[in-house]
Amino acid sequence: MRIGVSTWCLLDRTLGEALECLSSRVKEVEILSDASHDLLHAGVDCCSSFDLRYSVHAPVTDLNIASCRERVREVSLDILEEVCERAAVIDASCVVVHPGFMPWMELRERSLACLHRSLKRLSGVQEEQGIRIAVENMGSWEVCHFRDTSLLPAIRELGLGFCLDIGHAHINGALEEFLHLAEPDHVHVHDNHGREDDHLAPGEGGIDFNRIAVALPAGVPWIEEVHDLRACDSGLLHLSRLHSERDRRHTGRYP
């Protein structure tokens, strides 16, 4: 298991400060390119100061690649392309993107058609930039696209990557289906009790991560996505114990 952490838990610090803090805990960090860590403003110069493997989460605010307003959709894609350029500079393993949302339920089909056009363009960006783009399944808000596995075939047909968000799949009652059908390129790890998108530390909700560890391919990065450093440390402890148990099973040293 490759265990890493999102910089989300340290958005109150500069990107350099966040990376310094996390580098003492993990070898893999996902930069949430938003707020004070926005790579289009904070830059990437500080990243080379640390012995870390990187992934990048594209901005989650002010973008909608499923927008029915063409100018909004195009600008959103332009920004994502710029983020991919910055991510390529730091040799990030992938860029995680949200699939967007419909502003009104009545616009569902129109918005979904816009999303498919955006995914096609992102497939081109992935090829041009030489960096993997992974589309993330979303939470329980009805306006969000990709809450179940129905979008997976289109994502794979275009050659795009898939980021399995375990917490999101759990609250949508779709975790079993995702584990059965999908082989994710990237995993977001956080816990909840099946009702709200709490982003609790792994082990503090109702998700059985032991079972998930067995179901997912080995070598896929598990990126912890929690609100603060306390939850980060609690979750890392839980995941490290899980990792040790899995190793013991594989080596035959487990009772």
pLDDT, one tens digit per residue, over 14-64 is: 999 999 999 999 999 999 999 999 999 999 999 999 999 999 999 999 999
Cα separation of 160 and 178, whole Å?
A: 16
State CA 137 to chain mean position distance. 9
CB atoms within 10 A of CB 44: 20
Q: For residue 143, what is the domain's CATH number? A: 3.20.20.150
Q: Cα–Cα distances in Å, from 32 out to 15, 37, 127, 180, 247?
A: 9, 6, 22, 28, 30
**Could you list the residue range(s) of the whole structural domain that residue 202 is in?**
2-251
Q: Which residues contact 34 (CB under 8 A, 6 or more apart)?
A: 11, 57, 59, 60, 61
How much is the pLDDT for 251?
Answer: 54
Query: What percentage of the chain exceeds 90 in pLDDT?
Result: 91
Q: Considering its fold, how many domains does the chain have in total?
A: 1
